Amino acid sequence: MSPKPPPRFRDHYADGAWYDAEYVHIGGDIPYYEQVACETDGPILELACGTGRLTFPMAATGVKVVGVDNSTAMLARAEAKRAALPPSGRARVEFRFGDMRKVRFKEEFAAVVLGFNTLMHMTDDDDLLATLETARVHLEEDGLFHVDLHTPLPEIALNRDPEGRYDPEEMIAPNGDRYIVTENNQYDARRQINRMWFYYQKVDRDGYDLGEEQATLLELRVLFPRELDLFFRMAGLEMVGDWDDLERSAPFSGGGGRRVIQARARPGWTGIVLP
Ligand SMILES: C[S@@+](CC[C@H](N)C(=O)[O-])C[C@H]1O[C@@H](n2cnc3c(N)ncnc32)[C@H](O)[C@@H]1O
């Protein structure tokens, strides 16, 4: 048998419809963000909104949501979904192209949301700080910044066999083709960067491999608990809620694999990290 050709790489966010198909099984965070939306009169700023997976459920509670993202492909998909809404729904959702490290809008918001591990895309310290500052400067007085992300468990340090394919999931692509999606990762403990490969193997109805494999790569920063505490302080943000889960059932312990944070702009912030 001839050796398998290397996978063809493409950008993980190059196709919004593909993203929605790949993450169709993710939805456990939606009730939490609906609840967040119900707890405010809005408006909400959603950083890195992608295809609007969280934007639309939040807006459906009756608040205005502005979503910002730096992927035109993801925003095109979000805009197509927005166009399909009735006029009242359409009026509550707005998408803007922008980089969450840099955007500065005229408005202030009752809530700023950054969901689904996306803070971990900020692999560089300055980018991480800049993103947190973007959140702070857009909060109105008493406004809350909402973040959820992975928090590292000891297993993170276990690198996988580079040839291996792990955690298979079935995916039906937008054109109806069937894929098996698998993952692999290598963790750089010094840089705290988890390099995650996603492999898309096209298969027939019986699960037989149909040839060419595609792959995407995500580099995610692993944020240890006290490190993230410090970044929040450096950005002038004060945590007012910190939990292990999206149900907010247990205070953050660092042992649950997830971290759910609510923070407000630190009153009297002068730009100096307090001891
Ligand atoms: C994991 S997806 C999350 C999308 C959406 N929030 C969700 O929960 O489905 C990460 C998103 O972050 C966006 N993104 C990455 N870096 C960004 C940046 N610097 N500014 C704005 N968006 C960014 C990507 O384009 C992608 O849409």
- The upper half-sphere exposure of residue 96, i.e. CA atoms within 13 Å in the direction of its Cβ, equals 14
Cβ-proximal residues to 84 (8 Å cutoff; 6+ apart), any chain:
none
Looking at residue 1, what is its pLDDT? 44
Looking at residue 272, what is its pLDDT? 66
Looking at residue 163, what is its pLDDT? 84
What's the 99 CA to ligand 1 centre distance in angstroms? 9
Q: Measured between alpha carbons, how far apart are the two ends of the chain, in Å?
A: 63
Residues with CB under 6 A from ligand 1: 13, 48-50, 53-54, 69-71, 74, 99-101, 115-116, 118, 121
Nearest Cα residue to atom 14 of ligand 1: 48
The answer to whether the CB of 69 falls within 8 A of the CB of 95 is yes
What's the 50 CA to ligand 1 centre distance in angstroms? 5
Looking at residue 122, what is its pLDDT? 97
Q: What is the 3-state secondary structure (H, E, C) of the chain?
A: CCCCCCCEECCCCCCHHHHHHHCCCCCCCHHHHHHHHHCCCCCEEEECCCCCCCHHHHHCCCCCEEEEECCHHHHHHHHHHHHCCCHHHHHCEEEEECCCCCCCCCCCEEEEEECCCHHHHCCCHHHHHHHHHHHHHCEEEEEEEEEEEECCCHHHHCCCCCCCCEEEEEEECCCCCEEEEEEEEEEECCCCEEEEEEEEEEECCCCCEEEEEEEEEEEEECCCHHHHHHHHHHCCEEEEEEECCCCCCCECCCCCCEEEEEEEECCCCCCCCCC
> pTM for this structure?
0.92
Please state, in angstroms and rounded to a whole number, the distance separating the CA atoms of residues 211 and 208.
Answer: 9
State the closest ligand 1 atom to the C-alpha of 103, by its place in the atom list counted from 1.
20
What's the 65 CA to ligand 1 centre distance in angstroms? 16
Angle of helix 125-137 relative to helix 225-234, nearest 10 degrees, comes to 50
What is the radius of gyration, based on Cα positions, of the chain?
A: 20
Looking at residue 161, what is its pLDDT? 86
pLDDT in tens, the chain (275 residues): 445 556 777 889 999 999 999 999 999 999 999 999 999 998 999 999 999 999 999 999 999 999 999 999 999 999 999 999 999 999 999 999 999 999 999 999 999 999 999 999 999 999 999 999 999 999 999 999 999 999 988 666 567 888 888 999 999 999 999 999 999 999 998 999 999 999 999 998 776 777 778 899 999 999 999 999 999 999 999 999 999 999 999 999 998 899 999 999 998 887 766 55
State the closest ligand 1 atom to the C-alpha of 117, by its place in the atom list counted from 1.
1
Instruction: Give me the CATH topology for the region 17-151+223-265.
Output: Rossmann fold (3.40.50)
Nearest Cα residue to atom 19 of ligand 1: 99
What's the 268 CA to ligand 1 centre distance in angstroms? 31
Please state, in angstroms and rounded to a whole number, the distance separating the CA atoms of residues 200 and 148.
Answer: 27
What's the 13 CA to ligand 1 centre distance in angstroms? 8
